Amino acid sequence: MKNWSEAIVFSCILATLGCGSGMSTTALLAASSSFNPVTAPAPVTPAPPVTPAPPVTPAPPVTPAPPVDPSQLHQSTSASGFIDSVGVNTHFSYTDTAYYLQSPAVIQAIKLLNVRHIRDGLAYSWVAPNLYSIHAQLEAAGIHADLVVPNPNSGGPSVQQMQPLLQNYPDAENVEDPNEYDQAGDPNWSTDLKNYLPTVFSLGHNSGFPVFGPSLTQSASYSQLGNVASTMDFNNYHAYWGGRNPETGGWGGPDAENHYYGSLAYDLDELQIDGPNVPVVMTETGYVANGTVGAKNVIPESVEAIYEPRLLLHMWNSGIKRTYIYELMDEPSSTTGFGLLHADLTPRPAYTAILNLMNLLADSSTITPGELGYTMTGNTTGMESTLLQKSDGSFWLALWLNAPIYDVNALEPISVPLQVVNLSVLGGPTIYSIRTFDGTGQVSTTPVNAPTSSLSVGSGLTLIHIMP
């Protein structure tokens, strides 16, 4: 052994291996010669220190849009409310027309328009064999009918006679007083009609239906009939524009309010005579459009395609609760050209225009409409607008020039130049797209995706889609 320390270690090993166990020294030595000491492992090199990640720089706070000046806020109305304000006249009891002979195709044409309301008649003295079946089909299609009751004649049918008939019209939603009875040839028309109105009012309310008041044709008839507001839920008017633009200021003499004959304002003044302060429906209005050149009050189909959408929006802006276009399709009892469809069910451009407008504005539910902040600069002279909101929060702004585009006296078009305006939407929303209607009823679309846009507004509708 090299030194005393090795001796001590060796003696300890000997003790560990066998001291006191009876093993001989020779055996212990032999055992010790086979002992292999454990080699200590090599030291572990420590891992390098982890470099900490740099601190995350927080995103800059989103700068909220500046508040909109209250003077730049515009109140919208409900898109679904506008859709619900549109109706169309039909004649499903006319057995020699497509109304009766091709009723499924006619019902489909109404559905395609997204129109939910028709105006038709309550059949009394004679009922076409399939008429009630047709009205069941209308109800199944989600289309509801205003039913005009028969004329009074010698007193007219009673409530007890008419009420059972209503059960055959599952699509019925209201009843209407006799149609234009002031021109029915009854010399005592005003007395007979006034005496009959309580009967119709009872019929409607006993059946749970609102009642539309009587339609009249002559200005003098309103004072002759007098105030019959207690017998109606809605006052009723028929307005035809003689081929002029629906926003016309009139073409005849003024009334006491200085509104001119032929204008909507003049018409509404007349309704204050027989039904003061009663909400108004317009159960007939529209245009005659066909290929006849030079006919009085007839306009080209391309002009009608521009006027009809404006008519519906202008009536909505004016507070008319429902506007029924006269009529859905041409039929022998009316002047050819009143129909949105020809007699063979092919569409006129006005049908296409209304279809596009109604489909663009269609909404699945109603909302309480809100306000939209926007400014419009440029040439806005003679420009009318309608701001609608859908349940998805989007806004639809319709703009148009309300000038006439056809001279009904010279029987020739009127050129109306485009007017450029700059639209800026405030508070965060974005102009998504711009749609423009033309004289064929078709619509062209221009994407924008910006809060501002320059617009060229003409006589046809410009419809701006604004996303929140």
pLDDT tens track for 270-280: 999 999 999 99
% of the chain beyond a pLDDT of 90: 80
pLDDT tens track for 221-237: 999 999 999 999 999 99
CB-based contact 443:464 (threshold 8 Å): no
Q: Hey, what are 272's tokens?
A: 């204050």
pLDDT of res. 153 = 79
The whole-angstrom separation of Cα 142 and Cα 104 is 13
pLDDT of res. 291 = 73
Q: Does the structure show a pLDDT above 80 at 292?
A: no
What integer is the mean pLDDT of 68-91? Answer: 96
Which of 31-45, 59-73, 408-422, 450-464 comes out lowest in average pLDDT?
A: 31-45
Q: Does the structure show a pLDDT above 70 at 396?
A: yes
pLDDT tens track for 445-455: 999 999 999 99
Angle at 176 between CA 171 and CA 178, to 5 degrees: 130
* CB neighbour class for 35 (10 Å; exposed up to 12, middle 13-18, buried from 19): exposed
In order of 107, 117, 128, the CA distances from 328 in angstroms are 10, 12, 20
Residue with tokens 């749609």: 435
Residue 37: band (very low, low, confident or very high) from pLDDT cuts 50, 70, 90 = very low
pLDDT of res. 311 = 98
Indicate the SS3 state at residue 425: strand
Q: Does the structure show a pLDDT above 70 at 31?
A: no
CB-based contact 212:283 (threshold 8 Å): yes
Mean pLDDT of the chain: 89
Q: Domains of the chain (ranges plus CATH)?
A: 77-361 (3.20.20.80), 367-467 (2.60.40)
H/E stretch holding 467 = strand 462-467
pLDDT tens track for 402-416: 999 999 999 999 999
Q: Does the structure show a pLDDT above 60 at 163?
A: yes
Indicate the SS3 state at residue 369: coil
H/E stretch holding 4 = helix 4-18
pLDDT of res. 48 = 61
pLDDT of res. 319 = 98
H/E stretch holding 351 = helix 349-361
Q: How many beta carbons lie within 10 A of that of residue 4, not counting itself?
A: 8
pLDDT of res. 10 = 33
pLDDT tens track for 195-220: 999 999 999 999 999 999 999 999 99
Amino acid identity of 360?
A: L
**DSSP string computed for 31-47:** HHHT--PPPPPPPPPPP
Angle at 202 between CA 198 and CA 203, to 5 degrees: 115
Quote the strand ranges of 335-451, DSSP E. Answer: 371-378, 383-389, 395-401, 406-407, 412-413, 419-425, 430-437, 443-450
What integer is the mean pLDDT of 40-57? Answer: 57
Q: Which long-range contacts (CB under 8 A, 24 or more apart) does 301-304 make?
A: 301/348, 301/349, 301/350, 302/349, 302/439, 302/440, 303/405, 303/406, 303/413, 303/439, 304/348, 304/349, 304/350
pTM passes above 0.95: no
pLDDT tens track for 322-350: 999 999 999 988 888 999 999 999 999 99
Which of 65-69, 178-182, 343-347, 452-456 comes out lowest in average pLDDT?
A: 65-69
User: What does DSSP say about strands 172-176 and 211-212: parallel, antiparallel, or unpaired?
Assistant: parallel
Q: Does the structure show a pLDDT above 60 at 254?
A: yes
pLDDT of res. 112 = 98
Q: What's the sign of the alpha-carbon dihedral 109, 112, 118, 123? A: positive
Cis status, amide bond into 6, omega within 30 of 0: no
pLDDT of res. 294 = 73
pLDDT of res. 47 = 53
301-317 vs 349-361: helix axis angle to the nearest 10? 40
CB-based contact 169:132 (threshold 8 Å): yes
CB-based contact 323:312 (threshold 8 Å): yes
- For 417, residues 6+ apart whose C-beta sits below 8 A from its C-beta are none
Q: Which residue has the higher pLDDT, 219 or 53?
A: 219
Q: Does the structure show a pLDDT above 60 at 321?
A: yes
Q: What's the sign of the alpha-carbon dihedral 220, 221, 227, 233? A: negative
The whole-angstrom separation of Cα 111 and Cα 141 is 7
The whole-angstrom separation of Cα 22 and Cα 395 is 107
Residue 68: band (very low, low, confident or very high) from pLDDT cuts 50, 70, 90 = confident
pLDDT of res. 90 = 98
Q: Which residue has the higher pLDDT, 465 or 293?
A: 465
pLDDT of res. 60 = 63
pLDDT of res. 17 = 33
Rounded to an integer, what is the distance from CA 222 to the centroid of its chain? 34
What integer is the mean pLDDT of 313-319? Answer: 98
- By residue count, the chain amounts to 468
The whole-angstrom separation of Cα 350 and Cα 339 is 9
SS3 sequence, 56-87?
A: CCCCCCCCCCCCCCHHHEEECEEHHHHHHCEE
pLDDT of res. 67 = 81
Q: How many beta carbons lie within 10 A of that of residue 100, not counting itself?
A: 19
Q: Does the structure show a pLDDT above 80 at 21?
A: no
The whole-angstrom separation of Cα 8 and Cα 11 is 5
pLDDT of res. 62 = 53
Residue 13: band (very low, low, confident or very high) from pLDDT cuts 50, 70, 90 = very low
pLDDT of res. 333 = 86
The whole-angstrom separation of Cα 203 and Cα 414 is 49
What integer is the mean pLDDT of 6-15? Answer: 34
Q: Does the structure show a pLDDT above 50 at 23?
A: no
The whole-angstrom separation of Cα 399 and Cα 384 is 6
